[in-house]
Structure 1
Amino acid sequence: MALLSMSGITKSFAGVPALRSVDFELRSGEIHALLGANGAGKSTLMKVLSGAYSPDAGVIRIDDQAVQIRSPYDAKKHGIQCIYQEVDTALAAGLSVAENIMMDKISAGGAGLLNWNKLRGEAERALAQVGADIPVRKPVEGLTLAEKQLVLLARLLTEEARIVIFDEPTAPLSLEEAERLFRVMQRLKSSGIGSVFITHRLPEVFRMSDRITVMRDGERVLTEAKDNTNADGIIQAMLGKTFAAEFPKTEAAIGEILLEAEGLTLGHKVRDVSFTARSGEIVAVVGLVGAGKTELSRVLFGADRPESGTIRVKGKEAILREPVDAVQNGIVLVPEERRKQGILVQESVQRNISLPLLDALSSLGIVSLRKEKRLAEDVIQRLGIKTSSPGLAAAYLSGGNQQKVSIGKWLETGANVFLFDEPTKGVDIGAKSDIFSIIGELASRGKSIVYFTCEFAEAIGIADRLLVMYDGRLVKELSRAEATQELILLYASGGEDRKHEI
């Protein structure tokens, strides 16, 4: 008997179907991955389960008994809890760890006296269950993001959760933090709790899940045991495309050296780094979190000044004291933290795209809104940015479309070297495919691409050459033909074979 059964769930918004008679099942002690491209309906289905939306039709059963879930309160009564990527929205920053964990019991206590020693003891035991060593008197606002996530997990244990929805839980975490989360998920599984696992990272899916359900265009198109499918089958179900189509490699003529780094050093994060990148070439710098990839990208963009070393563009030394120097030398960066560094989220799509070109769009210090709008409309069309209008604030775009804006603002600057730092972080698989296509088009136009990533499969799929980074150094160069994920991991984790250091 299934712990949870959702049958014929249908939901429309303003007459537009978001869910079309969807069935979904979860067993006790199961981790069931729920996958789909942006807009597939997976989030809507989970919002129905968590009580945020009421379905237009369909039945939800728990332990084979039909239940009515019309609010988040109803969902919690039935043991349904959610762990969202944006953990801060579920916590009270000014309260202590114990107060956040025991919030429901505190609020249920009414006006009576609370036994704080007992409550703190329960909070400590819940934290121990999720493997967290966090002082219960500490204010939540002083915790790291990963620690806040553990506080939420401890809270759901005190509330006797039976069904947990994990919505992109690893997106903001380092590899070490993700490993700790996976251990917690396994503990929940062992205790009989059913988990719905939403993620864009296929390696996590095949590592953690028991079954996989794929949605597309508001419908369930696949439910399969993990061992009975593979990445190619999952991607084809999500997109209607093969695995190769996820990584559309555009062949481009590789020409002269556009970027040359020699002996770049910055503390322990960038150590004696030398490499070249040619026109039409995609060079991937791959490594684990903390290898120094982001720090190297910042040095190449002039955001941080190296202690030693030289950067040359088209054979001429480039003195990069700040990012504006890099842009003037034809080097641009699409940063990892797009919402903090890549775009201005409260500004319009139009203004974000035009920012690097305001001088060219201005006359006597006044920006021509007509020219600015024409530029934005052209970039929106070229990159397939999904927005209701150029005037929409970037904050309202999906992660993938925000990333396209972060790329699009550089297209008309005349840049020859494009640096991409984890460009697919937090975007759905459809947007990921679009971003790869954009990068391929840039390479075919003779641009030089340096692609920094910890996603080994992506690097193999898109790059002409791969440079493996470990502990601040480039330790191995691999061609696309010889690169495998196992070989990359060997060198990225400090493998012994250093005969071909670069």
Structure 2
Amino acid sequence: MAQTAVELRMQNINKSFAGVHALKRVDFAVRGGEIHALLGANGAGKSTLMKILSGAYRADGGTIQLEGRTLAIASPADAKEAGIHCVYQEVDTALVPSLTVCENILLDRKPGKGGARWIRWNSLYREAEAILRDIGYEIPVKEKVENLTLSEKQIVLIARAVSQQAKCVIFDEPTAPLSIEEAERLFEVMKRLKMGGVACIFISHRLPEIMAVCDRVTVMRDGRHVWTKRTEEIEIPHIVEAMLGKSFQEEYPKVAARIGETLLEVRGVRRGVKVRGVDFHVRSGEVVGIVGLVGAGKTELSRLLFGADVMEGGEIVLDGRSVQLREPRDAVRAGMVLVPEERRKEGILVEESVRSNLTLPILKKFTAGGFIRRREEKEHAQHMIRELGIKTPDEEEAVGYLSGGNQQKVVIGKWLATEADVFLFDEPTKGVDIGAKRDIFTLIGRLVQAGKGIVYLSCEISEIIGISDRVLVMCDGRIVKELTGSEVTSENILLYASGGESHEEK
């Protein structure tokens, strides 16, 4: 399909919050028929810029033009009327779960035509099916949205935008919660929109995705536009340097640590078909990476090791002692803690303060006679905020308002004071920007130097290669291969993770 003349242009956009400049004379433009990446570390201003474009915020100054016409966007309704739509990571806030796929796609449609009072359901079903076919999907249009997968819900949002003749669609971290296969299908939908002349803005922390999918890249830093370049003109190190404002030659900082005695032994641990007789060990000062494709059993294994699920067989030995883990409390008491994949559901209390989250596991230290010594608790929280570089207005801010990277620092910070010996990290960089990733890797390095044992579970192969001393590859609930030294390559990991060869368990 031929490209259209659609062009969306934001010029000299300014925005301040309580006297702090979030955006400083920012220019940004996206053309119809392109996928344009908008990148930046936490606090760079990209989210603020997109909230202005989508009507959630009002700019203090500047103009927005679409197809040469100046827009006055004062609300999300104004943005949608102009043809600007958003597909967010948290799709449930934009959909009505109790309604059908068809009803959600055509939600803003007036029932009937020409004053008719009756809804022509069969006509609407056919229209919704046609829209889904146009973007390459088949979802039962009579199915309730609450029964769909996350990726299918995203497609419903995209279909709604198409039904309203969208001219620009903002994709804000849409792939963060998706599997590799689901992300690939989403990219195909984005490419179909591009071929139809839609201007697509793509925000993602996964830089390889950006290089594979986008036509142009804009980088922001400290509320300013840094540069806009065509994808073929740049490489990932150029993007990282522009985002951080400095060279980033060592993405995964390794530290010199002495590997000591065995801290954790896992012997024949199993539960159903997801974890089938897993054996491995972790030593003091060592990072053991466990890598596998989605569904390999990594998260299920981490939950067993933390006592969140109960083993059906096997043994866990910590510091030479066999331990019975019936609940997470048992693991914490034994000296093993988990930074879970779903941090908002399992790692933090989103409505509680940073202080409460940081001190929750050690609250007894600040309690006497049934009363909490608030001053000591507050001082501890402030110390951890400084120590970990948590960006928050103060310790009383609700954790749910922090960025993904800072939420993750809170999850890690709450465990540091427990003096655990073994730290389990399950997809710790999911949904965090490149700067926060480096902070997490640096923190892991500090734990290693302190003699802790680290189990790092991820499907991000580059992270596993960059941070691990040894790599264990999981496939279908089993450890199928241990890789060390020169064996640790992306090709080997993919080979064994996809079941390309059969092996004795190591």
**TM tier, smaller:** over 0.9
Secondary structure of the residue aligned to 2:281 is strand
Q: Which residue in the other structure is 1:217 paired with? A: 222
Kindly state the Cα deviation for residue 18 of structure 1 after the two structures are TM-superposed.
1.5
1: CA distance, partners of 2:465 / 2:273:
27
2: CA distance, partners of 1:129 / 1:335:
38
Q: Which residue in the other structure is 2:39 paired with? A: 35
Q: Which residue in the other structure is 1:288 paired with? A: 293
Map 1:177-196; keep pairs closer than 5 Å: 177-196=182-201
Instruction: Tell me whether 1:240 sits opposite 2:245 in the alignment.
Output: yes
Q: Which residue in the other structure is 1:127 paired with? A: 132
Q: Which runs of 5+ in 2 are unaligned?
A: none
Kindly state the Cα deviation for residue 123 of structure 1 after the two structures are TM-superposed.
1.1
Q: Deviations over 1:157-186 (max 9, x none)?
A: 111111111001111222222122111111
2: CA distance, partners of 1:222 / 1:460:
30
Q: Which residue in the other structure is 1:325 paired with? A: 330
Q: Which residue in the other structure is 1:75 paired with? A: 79
Q: Which residue in the other structure is 1:142 paired with? A: 147
Kindly state the Cα deviation for residue 452 of structure 1 after the two structures are TM-superposed.
0.6
Kindly state the Cα deviation for residue 377 of structure 1 after the two structures are TM-superposed.
1.7
Q: Which residue in the other structure is 1:450 paired with? A: 455
Q: Deviations over 1:54-99 (max 9, x none)?
A: 3333332323343333332332232211111111111122322212
Q: Which residue in the other structure is 1:422 paired with? A: 427
Using the size of structure 1 for normalisation, the TM-score is 0.95
Instruction: Tell me whether 1:338 sits opposite 2:350 in the alignment.
Output: no
Q: Which residue in the other structure is 2:254 paired with? A: 249
Q: Which residue in the other structure is 2:384 paired with? A: 379
Instruction: Tell me whether 1:495 sits opposite 2:500 in the alignment.
Output: yes
2: CA distance, partners of 1:415 / 1:276:
16
Instruction: Tell me whether 1:272 sits opposite 2:281 in the alignment.
Output: no
2: CA distance, partners of 1:26 / 1:360:
54
One-letter identity of the residue aligned with 2:417: E
The answer (yes or no) to whether the contact 1:463–1:480 under 8 Å persists in 2 is no
Kindly state the Cα deviation for residue 109 of structure 1 after the two structures are TM-superposed.
6.1
The answer (yes or no) to whether the contact 1:231–1:243 under 8 Å persists in 2 is no
Map 1:53-72; keep pairs closer than 5 Å: 53-72=57-76
Q: Which residue in the other structure is 1:361 paired with? A: 366
Map 1:94-109; keep pairs closer than 5 Å: 94-106=98-110
Kindly state the Cα deviation for residue 499 of structure 1 after the two structures are TM-superposed.
5.5
Kindly state the Cα deviation for residue 116 of structure 1 after the two structures are TM-superposed.
2.4
One-letter identity of the residue aligned with 2:14: T
In angstroms, what is the RMSD of aligned CA positions?
1.9
1: CA distance, partners of 2:303 / 2:468:
20
Task: Rate the CA distance shift 1:105–1:176 in 2: closer, same or farther, 3 A.
Answer: same
Task: Rate the CA distance shift 1:153–1:62 in 2: closer, same or farther, 3 A.
Answer: same
One-letter identity of the residue aligned with 2:293: L
The answer (yes or no) to whether the contact 2:112–2:120 under 8 Å persists in 1 is no
Q: Which residue in the other structure is 1:23 paired with? A: 27
Q: Which residue in the other structure is 1:115 paired with? A: 120
Secondary structure of the residue aligned to 2:416 is coil
One-letter identity of the residue aligned with 2:392: T
Secondary structure of the residue aligned to 1:380 is helix
Kindly state the Cα deviation for residue 473 of structure 1 after the two structures are TM-superposed.
1.1
2: CA distance, partners of 1:238 / 1:388:
23
Out of 445, 463, 466, the position equivalent to 2:468 is: 463
2: CA distance, partners of 1:405 / 1:86:
21
Aligned residues between the structures: 501
One-letter identity of the residue aligned with 1:58: G
One-letter identity of the residue aligned with 1:276: H
Out of 83, 86, 90, the position equivalent to 2:94 is: 90
Kindly state the Cα deviation for residue 342 of structure 1 after the two structures are TM-superposed.
0.9
Secondary structure of the residue aligned to 2:228 is strand
One-letter identity of the residue aligned with 2:64: I
Q: Deviations over 1:414-442 (max 9, x none)?
A: 21000011111111222111111111111
Kindly state the Cα deviation for residue 288 of structure 1 after the two structures are TM-superposed.
1.2
The answer (yes or no) to whether the contact 1:81–1:161 under 8 Å persists in 2 is yes
Kindly state the Cα deviation for residue 405 of structure 1 after the two structures are TM-superposed.
1.2
Kindly state the Cα deviation for residue 480 of structure 1 after the two structures are TM-superposed.
5.4
